[in-house]
Amino acid sequence: MTAQILAHRAWQARLELGFAAQQTDSGEERTILKHRRHVGPLRVQKSFYPEQGRGECHAIMLHPPAGIAGGDALSIQVSVDAAAHGLITTVGAGKWYGSDGRPATQRIQLQVADSACLEWLPLEVMVFDHAQVSSQTQIELAASASFMGWDVLVFGRQSRGETFTQGRYHNHVQIRQDGRLLLEDRLDVCGSDRWLASPLGMAGHAVTGAMWALPPLAYRDTAILDEQILQIRELISRMQMPLYITRLEHLLVARYLGDDARQAVDGFAGIRAKLRRLWFDLDECYPRIWRT
């Protein structure tokens, strides 16, 4: 940890994105990034259409400072209009830097309208020792909306043998559908907390992750979802990863606990690829930035 990180000038950054369905001159449907507004060092430069013959819109978020330090405040708001399909990922791993005591905050609000889909696929986030973090994610889904997203967290810089001995990390995730709460996750851990070593917590591992997936209306029958979960568990057994999946009504929840952030992202990406084929008849089509 450096003095420059501990005592830096705080950044205030805000990003607003809006996806909408549009009909092209040839009569094909595609999704466009109809609204894009940023304040400070957080932005999307352009949208991509890597899926041949399909109109899904891919966007890559950039945060030039590369990390979030004490005093920084980031706000991300994403809306997906009816019948649109948007995908958002990041350029690389996020970082919560060590702090001089000032908290760093992040607020994420995702709204998905009826018959629309959002894929929220950020790469892993590292929590440095001495970080002071408050992160909140609110996902609001309309009655017939669908969603796939994940959050992968790394405590300490593994390449340096660093662990999370001082600081605090607080994360709050809510997923609502048509105003009804489907899931609420809270994680509030301090440096050297016994939860990091406890078999009821991190069990000494450095990486934890969660993935959430809500299917379109046609696949919300519990018998169909239970059969699909069996297929995903078979996939997990072939991947040989510490991944687990369950169902909360019609919301699928997968979790990872291990020591390899890349393995966690790859595992969730494998589940996503399977669900894309089952739910939307789409190929996996990983974001191109993951291959660079």
Q: Does position 292 have pLDDT exceeding 80, yes or no?
A: no
Is residue 27 in some structural domain?
Answer: yes
Picking from 20, 245, 1, the residue whose alpha carbon sits closest to that of residue 132 is 1
Q: What are the tokens at 88?
A: 């958002």
Top-confidence residue, 178 or 28:
178
pLDDT of residue 74: 96
* Residue 255 belongs to some domain of the structure: yes
d(CA 114, CA 126): 34
* CA distance linking residue 87 with residue 117, whole number of Å: 8
DSSP category for residue 271? H
Assign residue 204 a region (left: φ > 0; alpha: ψ between -120 and 50; beta: otherwise). left
Rounded CA-CA distance 58/30 in Å is 11
Question: Does any domain span residue 42?
Answer: yes
The structural domain count of the chain equals: 1
Does residue 17 belong to any structural domain of this protein?
Answer: no
Of the candidates 93, 56, 106, 117, the one whose C-alpha atom is nearest the C-alpha of residue 264 is 93
Q: For the residues of 209-238, what is the DSSP string, one character each?
A: EEEEEE--GGG--HHHHHHHHHHHHHHHHH
pLDDT tens column, 223-278: 999 999 999 999 999 999 999 999 999 999 999 999 999 999 999 999 999 999 99
Task: Let me know if 290 is exposed, middle or buried by CB neighbors in 10 A (0-12, 13-18, 19+).
Answer: middle
290 φ, ψ (degrees, to nearest 5): -70, -20
For residue 275, being part of any structural domain is answered with: yes
Q: Helix 261-280 to helix 222-239 angle, to the nearest 10 degrees?
A: 140
Furthest CA-CA distance within the chain: 60
Residues 6+ apart with CB under 8 A from 227: none
User: Residue-wise over 94-114: b if at least 16 C-beta within 10 A, else e?
Assistant: bbbbbbeeeebbbebebbbbe
Per the structure, the complete domain to which residue 154 belongs is given by: 23-291
pLDDT value at residue 3: 43
Q: What are 119-154's pLDDT values in tens digits? A: 999 999 999 999 999 999 999 999 999 999 999 999
Handedness of CA 277, 280, 283, 284 (dihedral sign): negative
What rounded mean pLDDT belongs to the chain? Answer: 93
Q: Which residues contact 45 (CB under 8 A, 6 or more apart)?
A: 60, 62
Task: Identify whether 40 is part of a domain.
Answer: yes
Q: 112, 80 in Cβ contact below 8 A?
A: yes
Whether 151 is covered by a domain: the verdict is: yes
The answer as to whether 3 is a domain residue is no
The residue ranking higher by pLDDT, 204 or 100, is 204
Give pLDDT tens digits for 53-101. Answer: 678 999 999 988 878 999 999 999 999 999 999 999 999 899 999 998 8
